[in-house]
A and B are shown apart, each in its own frame.
Chain A
């Protein structure tokens, strides 16, 4: 029996309260999540957050200790890995060193005996063309570079046209230039073959550039699911705001209109602010700095600070500030910022309250 989707409207993967514990350690806790067909979905989190365990449960290498997994609407409980209609791109690529490129790519079709010999040769040619490795069929794996090995692994994983491809840190082993190239390439391949891609990564930039949607994991739980823009602009928790991009945080008590921070005074809050203990997250690119004369417009939030250092980044300039209570604050401007600021001097950091975000945890 092969698990395959019966309709395109059912989720490609449905996780319902999925958990996994090894002895007394909980690697994954209560994950409920739908991955849509043909979606480029990323599971993003720091190492040890449980994302790899979650992926291994989807592939069938591990069985969940709680909850249930459905693949294409069919319960996957008890279905072994080799009977699941999905493939995995391994971090080490896991190409078979005793087989040629052609035999690696043809492996699944030969094992499943689904194609006659002539059709296999054709399918391998198509798969190698997809990853732009035409004519590499006779090579040994040991003759390939890292980037070529990954392409072979992609061709091997996609030749059986699985409903779902899982990618374990797909770009982790590549150098920086190749990585940027492969990011676009993976996205292109995914559109071409129309397969649901689920990648597991700790690299937020990778997740932001490639994904349609991202699930951010922390401590075994999914803390937020959303589009890259959702995740970046509207982080659900302080962890997400910190892990994806850079954020400044002010911690204090909200009355719904202003946040009172010990030692700093009050700052105005965005329109949808709640009341109670809270963190205010402000992205550095939303913060402007000035000498304080003329004063920034009154509707902007502002805090006095000391300029500690200026880092020129080429396309941007980053200012490291210290607030009145000594806490760090970062401002970033495109190009070169205002002139006449000297390190150690007083400045005013100000931002649009609507661009800031109030977080409960």
Chain B
């Protein structure tokens, strides 16, 4: 006979899952709403998908977000990898200083970073656009990528690199044949996490986007003023579908290994 506390915990766990997934289910259901407002059900329809397909403004924002996401996630992951490999060559004390500096942006409110970055770009008279957006997102994503890659790199046996050298690999071959494949899973996880952070970012985008480079979250946010239509839900549904496909296809195992624990190597 299970105790009351056990059962309560079980129901609480189910409640948490429901709470987490209610918004996603609501988005999907309301995307098929044949109504001009999101909060009232007016029967089944797919017409908002048609509207979405013809909404060039929204689609160009989607394109900007995807481009910025890919660019900043790639740069952040590469930067994280380089930081990890470089720090492995540093002395103990220098390493502590460097990693402290690398992770500091994590605890600074994004709005402060955004204002600071805007001042920097202003001083440099840089035109706000894709480049500034990517750089801004890089400030936010790089510490996360570094955190993941650094942990995984530190868990590698340093003898593996020496063994590769001993077996005839020069520095590039050691990287290509040993370090990179061993870090593949954490690198994929870091990239996906950075892309997600960049794709959903509003605060940093507010300060660093320019004319013609409005990101999707900024566009959606601005639509609030004119009233949301189920078109947003249709877009959301497609994004959810896209994300699920990625996770099912590649990310699930890696994400769990890296975020829950384990060194990313079998056995």
Bound together, the chains give a CA A165 to CA B170 distance in angstroms of: 20
Are A97 and B162 also in contact (CB < 8 A) when A82-B168, A111-B169 are? Answer: no
B160-219 residues with Cβ-Cβ distance < 8 A to A are 160, 162-170, 173, 177-178, 181-182, 184
Of the candidate stretches A84-92, A120-128, A194-202, A217-225, the one touching chain B is A84-92
Interface size on B, residues (CB 8 A): 21
Are B182 and A98 neighbours in the complex by a CB distance under 8 Å?
A: yes
Give the chain A neighbours of B184 by CB distance below 8 A: 98
Number of A-B contacts (CB under 8 A): 68
Bound together, the chains give a CA A98 to CA B184 distance in angstroms of: 10
Give the chain A neighbours of B157 by CB distance below 8 A: 92, 94
Give the chain B neighbours of A107 by CB distance below 8 A: 164, 167, 177
Could you list 22 examples of A-B contacts with CB < 8 Å? A59-B162, A59-B166, A60-B165, A61-B162, A81-B166, A82-B168, A90-B159, A92-B159, A94-B157, A94-B163, A95-B163, A96-B164, A96-B182, A97-B265, A98-B181, A108-B167, A111-B167, A111-B169, A111-B177, A140-B266, A157-B166, A160-B168
Are A82 and B267 also in contact (CB < 8 A) when A90-B163, A97-B182, A98-B182 are? Answer: no
Bound together, the chains give a CA A90 to CA B160 distance in angstroms of: 9
Bound together, the chains give a CA A112 to CA B169 distance in angstroms of: 8
Interface size on A, residues (CB 8 A): 28
Known: A107-B167, A140-B267. 15 other contacts (CB 8 A): A80-B165, A81-B162, A81-B165, A82-B167, A90-B159, A90-B162, A91-B159, A92-B157, A94-B163, A108-B168, A111-B167, A111-B169, A140-B266, A142-B266, A157-B166
Interface string of B135-175 (1 = CB under 8 A from A): 00000000000000000000001011011111111100100
Bound together, the chains give a CA A91 to CA B170 distance in angstroms of: 22
- For B156, the closest partner residue in chain A by CB is A97
Are B167 and A156 neighbours in the complex by a CB distance under 8 Å?
A: yes
Are B168 and A112 neighbours in the complex by a CB distance under 8 Å?
A: yes
| Cβ distance A58 to chain B, nearest Cβ, rounded Å | 11
Give the chain B neighbours of A96 by CB distance below 8 A: 160, 163-164, 178, 182
| Cβ distance A332 to chain B, nearest Cβ, rounded Å | 41
Interface string of A99-121 (1 = CB under 8 A from B): 00000000110011000000000
Q: Would you call A6 an interface residue if the criterion is a C-beta within 8 Å of the partner chain's C-beta atoms? A: no
- For B263, the closest partner residue in chain A by CB is A97
Are A82 and B165 neighbours in the complex by a CB distance under 8 Å?
A: yes
Are B266 and A97 neighbours in the complex by a CB distance under 8 Å?
A: yes
Are B182 and A82 neighbours in the complex by a CB distance under 8 Å?
A: no
Give the chain B neighbours of A112 by CB distance below 8 A: 168
Are B163 and A82 neighbours in the complex by a CB distance under 8 Å?
A: no
Among A82, A90, A157, find the residue whose CB has the most chain B CB atoms closer than 10 A.
A82
Bound together, the chains give a CA A91 to CA B181 distance in angstroms of: 23
Bound together, the chains give a CA A246 to CA B234 distance in angstroms of: 83
Bound together, the chains give a CA A141 to CA B267 distance in angstroms of: 8
Among A88, A91, A160, find the residue whose CB has the most chain B CB atoms closer than 10 A.
A88
Give the chain B neighbours of A80 by CB distance below 8 A: 165, 170
Bound together, the chains give a CA A94 to CA B184 distance in angstroms of: 18
Are B169 and A94 neighbours in the complex by a CB distance under 8 Å?
A: no
A35-79 residues with Cβ-Cβ distance < 8 A to B are 59-61
Give the chain B neighbours of A60 by CB distance below 8 A: 165
By Cβ-Cβ distance, the 9 closest A-B pairs, closest first, are A142-B267, A94-B163, A94-B159, A108-B167, A81-B165, A97-B265, A111-B168, A90-B159, A98-B181
Q: Would you call A7 an interface residue if the criterion is a C-beta within 8 Å of the partner chain's C-beta atoms? A: no
Among A60, A91, A96, find the residue whose CB has the most chain B CB atoms closer than 10 A.
A96
Give the chain A neighbours of B167 by CB distance below 8 A: 82, 87, 107-108, 111, 156, 160
- For A103, the closest partner residue in chain B by CB is B177
Are B160 and A94 neighbours in the complex by a CB distance under 8 Å?
A: yes
Are A143 and B267 neighbours in the complex by a CB distance under 8 Å?
A: yes
B228-267 residues with Cβ-Cβ distance < 8 A to A are 265-267
| Cβ distance A313 to chain B, nearest Cβ, rounded Å | 39
| Cβ distance A7 to chain B, nearest Cβ, rounded Å | 24
- For B184, the closest partner residue in chain A by CB is A98
Give the chain B neighbours of A92 by CB distance below 8 A: 157, 159
| Cβ distance A87 to chain B, nearest Cβ, rounded Å | 6
| Cβ distance A358 to chain B, nearest Cβ, rounded Å | 44
Are A111 and B165 also in contact (CB < 8 A) when A96-B160, A97-B265 are? Answer: no
Give the chain B neighbours of A86 by CB distance below 8 A: 166
Give the chain B neighbours of A59 by CB distance below 8 A: 162, 166
A161-213 residues with Cβ-Cβ distance < 8 A to B are none
Give the chain A neighbours of B267 by CB distance below 8 A: 97, 140-143
Give the chain A neighbours of B265 by CB distance below 8 A: 97-98
Among A108, A111, A157, find the residue whose CB has the most chain B CB atoms closer than 10 A.
A111
Which residue of the partner chain, among B170, B178, B266, contacts A82 with CB atoms under 8 Å? B170
Are A87 and B165 also in contact (CB < 8 A) when A92-B159, A97-B182 are? Answer: no
Bound together, the chains give a CA A220 to CA B55 distance in angstroms of: 76
- For A159, the closest partner residue in chain B by CB is B167
Bound together, the chains give a CA A188 to CA B170 distance in angstroms of: 32
Interface string of A132-168 (1 = CB under 8 A from B): 0000000011110000000000001100100000000
Bound together, the chains give a CA A112 to CA B159 distance in angstroms of: 20
